[in-house]
Amino acid sequence: MKKILIVEDEERIASLIEINLAAEGYRCICAFDGNAAADLIEKEKFDLILLDIMLPKINGYELLEYIKPLGVPVIFLTAKNKVDDRIKGLKLGADDYISKPFQIGELLARVEAVLRRCGNAERVLSLGDVEVEMKSRVVYKAGAPVELTVKEFDLLVEFMQNKNVALYRDRLYEKVWGEVYMGDTRTLDSHIQRLRKKLGWDNYIKTVFRVGYRLEDGE
């Protein structure tokens, strides 16, 4: 059973998350301030930490710096209008973020995705004749290495970890570039174009009208 630490000082939100995750079979423990969270992290092993930013005593950023070396994945909980928080969290190495207020379905999907991704961290991701070695960051197409830039590689990994899921432009951009998405589609679109070309993936990376992109595995 996966064990999740919920660090959130608004008890109403913490218990809402706990009830829903517990219903899905996760074991949850709540911490309502930064100190309590730090104590728990020190004592116990968690598979995932949901981390609010504005917390009494020790804030989420400080906690993240403490958590990162432990290799436990982190999803930040941020207020919807706090774009800077979101970006800062991703830059500091959070695995994903959820904006409050959120829908339970979204929460569950993100928790599942991050756990799945982290469980596969050492593995080779593959689709068709393309293979991505996560550790060495080397990509092969039909056995031959493909030269990708850092951003192209990061984009590719986002796609590979979310096969058949429509990825929104803003989220994709924020995750890969670690910057606020200002609605300029050119940077992202040109990277996608190059990725398609280098991998021969015109038919795999689909444009999703008014949303962004989706990698289809063709099955």
CB of 54 to Ca ion, least distance (A): 4
CB of 114 to Ca ion, least distance (A): 20
CB of 193 to Ca ion, least distance (A): 41
- Report the residue number, 10 or 133, with the smaller CB distance to Ca ion: 10
Q: For tokens 């990708």, name the residue.
A: 148
CB of 102 to Ca ion, least distance (A): 14
Q: For tokens 């996560």, name the residue.
A: 134
CB 41 within 8 A of CB 51: no
- Report the residue number, 59 or 187, with the smaller CB distance to Ca ion: 59
- Report the residue number, 54 or 104, with the smaller CB distance to Ca ion: 54
CB of 174 to Ca ion, least distance (A): 21
- Report the residue number, 75 or 160, with the smaller CB distance to Ca ion: 75
Helix axes 60-67, 34-43, angle to 10 degrees: 10
Residue of minimal Cβ distance to Ca ion: 54
Residues in touch with Ca ion (CB under 5 A): 9, 52, 54
- Report the residue number, 54 or 83, with the smaller CB distance to Ca ion: 54
